[in-house]
Amino acid sequence: MTDFIDKAGFGLKARHRAEKRFQWTGRLAILISLAFLAWMVVTIMIGASGAVRLVQIAVPVDLSVENVDPDDIAGAGYGAIIKQGLRAQFPEVSKRAEKKRLYNLVSPEGSFELERQVLSDPTLLGGTPLVWVTASDDLSLYVRGKINTDLPEDQRQISDQEIAWVDQIQDQGRIRNVANWGFLTNGDSREPEIAGILAAFVGSALSLSVCFLLSFPVGIAAATYLEEFAPANRVSDVIEVNINNLAAVPSIVFGLLGLSIFLGYFGLPRSSPLVGGMVLSLMTLPTIIIASRASLKSVPPSIKEAALAIGATPVQAVFHHVFPVALPGMMTGAIVGMARALGDTAPLLMIGMVAFIVDVPRSILEPATALPVQIFLWADSPERAFSEKTSAAIIVLLVFLVAMNMVAILLRRKLEQRF
């Protein structure tokens, strides 16, 4: 009798080899994707490291009565006070052009910062305190070593003279790095050192809320009707094919549609999160409908039959029994659609959400921009200091995405626990 578990039989060796091969291919594929992911994250982190720090410079400011009237603190010329303080440090500077460069060491925002500090602490008045204000972007880049000083003077943003000034100030310990919270709490700005992401973040959040509120109910209602109630005939076939086609339409086309219908025909406010959300919901609807239908289809029909057999109406059978089982799957579909909407720029460009927005939008009718658009704008900017912001903005976008997914997963857990 031959060995019962003879290895040579049934071509087993080759089959096991094939199995091993497949497993290793799979592992390799996962490894490669992980490597790319890690690479991406590290690059972004390194890129963002500049944007999370803010360089400040201490300027001695003369707040005597001649400069600031204690009865009219807000009326003083703080820009001039800072300039005066800078001049006092370098009395040898006299030429107009040189003075201008000296003043440029401090960000234009500096005068407002000084004003705010004086308003919040009037005891400063009368003396000549050292006050920390935001440094200009060129100074920041230099201090962080981002400017190659080996280059000839006319090829870099900062001249030899300025370098001499900065080095001298730095030797006095009057330059420091602080955490740049302003990045999270400011809107966009012409000045990279004070430009922030909040306006774009709020714009995205508002647009996505509008998008979700429109596309989720409409999407699952359409999916439920098509899957559970619509008669199977030519019309529903045509609808099905068209929904599948819509899901594949490039998003910029929906932007054009939004431009001509929402803005052109209905005259809704341009650049507003309302229109942005409506355009994005056009884009996410097909995705949500397709995912929801698949989810409904996967519910065993025996559950619906059981409900009908004890005298539930078809609507009751669907909403009491099929729907709750399918809901988590529908939410997954919605999140996939929303994630796409969050990252999409093209349709928003079409409806004007690409404007330069400084103020944080307070309603869905005010002009706004969105995170991916802001990233696009900054990445496109010729100023070095802006491109540093790009990475930081991408991190904010990713955190937004992860947070959204987390909420969805938590909601799913909660729903699924009910059997």
- The stretch among 113-121, 209-217, 263-271, 309-317 that binds other proteins (CB under 8 A) is 309-317
Contact 131, 61 (CB under 8 A): yes
Q: Which residue of 83, 156, 293, 321 would you call a contact of other proteins, by CB under 8 A?
A: 321
Residue 224: is it exposed, middle or buried by C-beta count within 10 angstroms (0-12/13-18/19+)? buried
Q: Distance between CA atoms of 297 and 325, rounded to whole angstroms?
A: 11
Binding mask 205-244 for other proteins (x = CB under 8 A): --------------------------xx------------
Contact 144, 49 (CB under 8 A): no
- The stretch among 166-174, 221-229, 280-288, 296-304 that binds other proteins (CB under 8 A) is 296-304
Using the rule CB under 8 A, is 308 a contact of other proteins?
yes
Q: Distance between CA atoms of 133 and 83, rounded to whole angstroms?
A: 12
- CB nearer other proteins, residue 148 or residue 417: 417
- CB nearer other proteins, residue 250 or residue 314: 314
Q: Distance between CA atoms of 170 and 177, rounded to whole angstroms?
A: 11
Binding mask 252-291 for other proteins (x = CB under 8 A): ----------------------------------------
Using the rule CB under 8 A, is 311 a contact of other proteins?
yes
- CB nearer other proteins, residue 239 or residue 308: 308
Give Cβ neighbours of residue 395 (< 8 Å, ≥ 6 apart): 44, 45, 48
Q: Distance between CA atoms of 64 and 342, rounded to whole angstroms?
A: 52
Q: Which residue of 7, 95, 234, 418 would you call a contact of other proteins, by CB under 8 A?
A: 418
- CB nearer other proteins, residue 141 or residue 317: 317
C-alpha 320 chain-centroid distance: 38
Q: Distance between CA atoms of 88 and 335, rounded to whole angstroms?
A: 59
Contacts to other proteins by CB under 8 A:
231-232, 300, 302-303, 305-313, 316, 320-321, 324-325, 418-419
